Chains A and B, each alone.
Chain A
Amino acid sequence: MAWLLAICPVLGIIAMAMSASHLVPIAISLLTGDGMTALFAVSMALNFILGCALWLLTRTSRRELQIREGILLITLVWIGGALFACVPLLGGIGLSFTDAYFESMSALTATGATLLDGLDHLAPSLNVWRAQLQWLGGMGVIVLVVAILPMIGVGGRQISKAEIPGPMKDDQLTPRVTQTAKGLWIIYFALTLACFASYFAAGMSWLDALIHSFTTISLGGFSSHDASLAHFDSIGIELVAIVFMVLACINFASHFRAWQERSVRVYRYDSELPYFMVVLAASVIGIAIFLWANGVYPDLASTLRYAAFNTISVATNTGYATTDYARWPVFAPLWLMFLGTFVACSGSAGGGIKMIRAMILYRQVYREFTKLAHPSAVTPLKIGDRVVPDQVVFSVLAFFFAWLATLVSMTLLLTLSGLDAITAFSAIVASLNNIGPGLHQVGPAANFSVLNDFQTWVCTVTMLLGRLELLTVLVIATPAFWRK
């Protein structure tokens, strides 16, 4: 077990960095005078002292990490991060540990499921803290999926490495990880800034604009209002949200390349993008027609408005709502949940299977059809102009099976504990794909507080599994991982 020591100093440094992130809520607290300054100061000190101690004690064993250590580190960062992050929630709102941990895991995984009521009356610094956790989590995920997971090759992640157009693709990523990460963060930061300015211009207060820009770009979906974006009832704000949700759901590696080359032509090489756009547009139109045909809204304009916003919000795994879409005729909310499982592009903070894997799965099925009709056919699986190696296809298939098995087993666990089928299923779909709200009891108008402790933990674990692409976490549970 001595090798475990090597990751401890890294964890220590991350904890110390986390303590620095307390400065924002402290500043907000001082500005608004909501009385949470001391709480955040204590939490900050706790982070710093524990992190510092960990680093000091183990810093001599720091060395270049092996893949196995990397995988463990990633999981520990999210588990530990949520642990530290729940301190202000425990102290500020008086939640139980289970609930506080759920809330902070939901934040760090950019899921957006909440069990808090009365968000409008929550101290502003606490709302900022929740939003900022999503923002940090989203940033971590993007770096993780663009720069780190391709090296490990989890669940066919190599494909996203191959997908990065231009000269970067043949480079060894290792020496460039920090550089890549820096580039991604600059884009992430710039998008957030643009989003903040747009929200502000569209009529939000600066505090709301800050919170919502954090949770839009990370595709998290936390809001500072119980009614989510319906609180503002403003078409301008909804349009801003739509634009930035779609932008944030595109592969950040493409944004990165576009920024490097100062040209939008780079997006042409993004093979997921056309499918993402077409599925999204077709779904918006389809849902609007369906709602119109069912007479849900009195006029076409509002039908289109609600259909577009809620469809895009759920499909991109953000989870804002401008209406209780769970009350739409049942086909529509189920379709939204289905979209949420696969629409997000790889290399974004979106969750689920990801568009690229869905494309590979679809083509693999088609390939089997061809093989049946023409046994001697050679049918490479192509994405864009590139042939996807069979090894990648296999790991995508393994990923999909793990995803499906998790979905089924976690849903069964929830129903075992007494939840009704729709609530259980939608809660797991919403957690596993980091969407946020589910349907029925956990729908957009309600929240996850109806769950008992056991059910809350099931959802917490599911969120973590979904966020870290399942295999990264599941592999830790295998004996082979711990064998010398």
Chain B
Amino acid sequence: MRVSGLLSDIAAKYATPGAPARRDANRTRIALFRKDAVKIVILGAGQVGSTVAESLVSEANDITVVDVEPTRLSKLQDRLDLRTVTGNAAHPAVLELAGARDADLLLAVTQSDETNLVACKLAATLFNIPTRVARVRATDYLSHPEIFSDENFAVGHSICPEQILCDYIVKLLEFPEALQVLEFAGGKVSLVAVRAFHGGPLVGREIQYLRQHMPQVDMRVAAIFRQDSPIAPEGTTVVEVDDEVFIIAATEDIRDVLRELRRMDQPVKRVMIGGGGNIGRRLARAIEDRYEVKIVEYNKAGAERLAAELDRTLVLVGDVTDEQLLEAENAGEMDVYCALTNDDETNIMSALLAKRCGARKVIALINRGSYVNLLQAGQIDIAISPAQITIGTLLAHVRRGDCVAVHSLRRGAAEALELIAHGDMKSSRVIGRRVEQLDLPKGLTIGAIVRSRGGDHEVLIAHHDTMIEAGDHVIVFVVNKQMVASVEKLFQVDVSYL
């Protein structure tokens, strides 16, 4: 008891800038000192559930998946080394069977918000599972955050995949030059991926040239991927055409960085959305005041509901793979076309059609990784994997060390993490050391540090002589997921510290 009290003090002391509001001491306890395999119970073997399971199994965690549908479970069990339980995830007996008694983490990601909420409550009351994450989609619930508190549904952290996806796409529209824009430390630091193009300022030059080219902006090249394999960037690395370059900079500098690296694309004005489902609707609602938006929905009744809900968006009824419709509605004049139906094939076809019509940039939601590999580079500008984007939020809860945010990159191959450095010179492997003094494996880059100083948060782009202090939020980039373990080790606090 004394120890956990002390820990809650630590947790309170290193309150995260802009991190999820409720960060309980329990979570810190596991995260800091866990050595053995994490026991995770996943409720729901749908899209999100199975991707999360797949991603976590490879990290040597003990995973149990619960679903009402035995066929889905058996498919999962055929591929992965995990335990499955068939039954209603909101029943105590089923949870008990799934090993809720000694589970460390509960991920409630079934289709039903209600099941997820009840499961969290049960997990807290009956089984005392310390970390509980629930998928809650209904905005009605989300607009009353008090119902998630410990006295009520006891949801430690709620996620809404549609909202995460929607925010992700909004960022891409805001920075049309980028392949990916991810935020850390409550939006203070951004990681952007750009493709080097022929004739741009990057191509054929050493990375250190960037600093001379843009002396006023501090940034760091975190990684370069050339034909899908990572290159550890050094000052002398020369960027080639079609390289995918990951750059870390303070969010306020991102626009300058992108302007320098890419020819300044016209800002986005016209956006067309294919598919008015959950994601398409949210996206249209979020951007209709900023851009000219058209949305195509197949279902007539669905289109009417959309039109009733949206104020300025032009709602069209029709098939997103109907070439005539796309042409009649000037898909070719669009700055961005987003294919967001719930069907991979439709999204690919629709995006390819829009690209052929002349849309400047096409984005498609593609769940299956194998499809992405089938597509030649450049046909679809950005393929978004919904599960990969959502999973980062969940991974933050599984990682050892005090991990605030995780973004899964390049379909789960690489990862960017935000961790808090705890301890002191003796108990920590990073605190009080300069970046160059750390024994970092190749492919692991410390990109930036966010230090809070009297309420202010200062962004420091990491260079060889940057010193890490206790309480710093450190943004780490690994080109290969296997290296996550060494990151965790790096940031773990030596137990003798207490």
Residues of A within 8 A of B (CB): 370, 374-380, 382, 387
Contact = CB atoms under 8 A, between A and B. Distances in A.
B328 A380 contact: no
B316 A377 contact: yes
Contacts of B307: 378-380, 387
The 8 closest A-B pairs by CB, nearest first: A378-B303, A378-B307, A378-B315, A387-B308, A376-B316, A380-B307, A376-B318, A378-B317
B159 interface: no
A380 B308 CA distance: 6
B306 interface: yes
A370 B304 contact: no
B314 interface: yes
B265 interface: no
Nearest to B296: A376
A379 B315 contact: yes
Nearest to A380: B307
A380 B313 CA distance: 12
B329 A374 contact: yes
A377 B314 contact: yes
B325 interface: yes
B245 to A, nearest CB: 40
Interface string B239-259: 000000000000000000000
B306 A376 contact: no
A164 B314 CA distance: 28
B329 A380 contact: no
B308 A377 contact: no
A378 B329 contact: no
Contacts of B311: 382
A448 B303 CA distance: 55
Q: Which of A376, A380, A382 has the most CB of B within 10 A?
A: A376
Given A377-B316, A380-B308, 10 more contacts: A374-B329, A376-B318, A376-B329, A377-B314, A377-B315, A378-B306, A378-B307, A378-B315, A382-B311, A387-B308
B406 to A, nearest CB: 39
A387 B304 CA distance: 10
Contacts of A387: 307-308
Contacts of A379: 307, 315
A197 B43 CA distance: 71
Contacts of A375: 328
Contacts of A377: 314-317
A374 B292 CA distance: 14
Nearest to B322: A376
B308 A370 contact: no
Nearest to B314: A377
B317 A376 contact: yes
B304 A378 contact: yes
22 contacts: A374-B314, A374-B329, A375-B328, A376-B316, A376-B317, A376-B318, A376-B328, A377-B314, A377-B316, A377-B317, A378-B297, A378-B300, A378-B304, A378-B306, A378-B307, A378-B315, A379-B307, A379-B315, A380-B307, A380-B308, A382-B311, A387-B308
A285 to B, nearest CB: 29
A375 B325 CA distance: 10
Interface in B276-332: 297, 300, 303-304, 306-308, 311, 314-318, 325, 328-329
A415 to B, nearest CB: 46
Contacts of B325: 376
A375 B327 CA distance: 13
Interface in B221-276: none
A82 B303 CA distance: 52
A377 B303 CA distance: 9
Contacts of B328: 374-376
Contacts of A376: 316-318, 325, 328-329
Interface in B17-55: none
Nearest to B308: A387
A214 to B, nearest CB: 43
Contacts of A380: 304, 307-308
A382 B318 contact: no
A446 B367 CA distance: 79
A380 B318 CA distance: 16
Contacts of B304: 378, 380
Given A375-B328, A376-B325, A376-B328, A382 B315 contact: no
Nearest to B315: A378
Contact of A374 (B300, B308, B316): B316
A370 B306 CA distance: 16
Nearest to B324: A376
Contacts of B297: 378
A382 B306 CA distance: 12
Contacts of B300: 378
B353 to A, nearest CB: 16
Contacts of B308: 380, 382, 387
B304 to A, nearest CB: 6
A334 B325 CA distance: 47
B275 to A, nearest CB: 15
Q: Which of A376, A378, A387 has the most CB of B within 10 A?
A: A378
Nearest to A379: B307
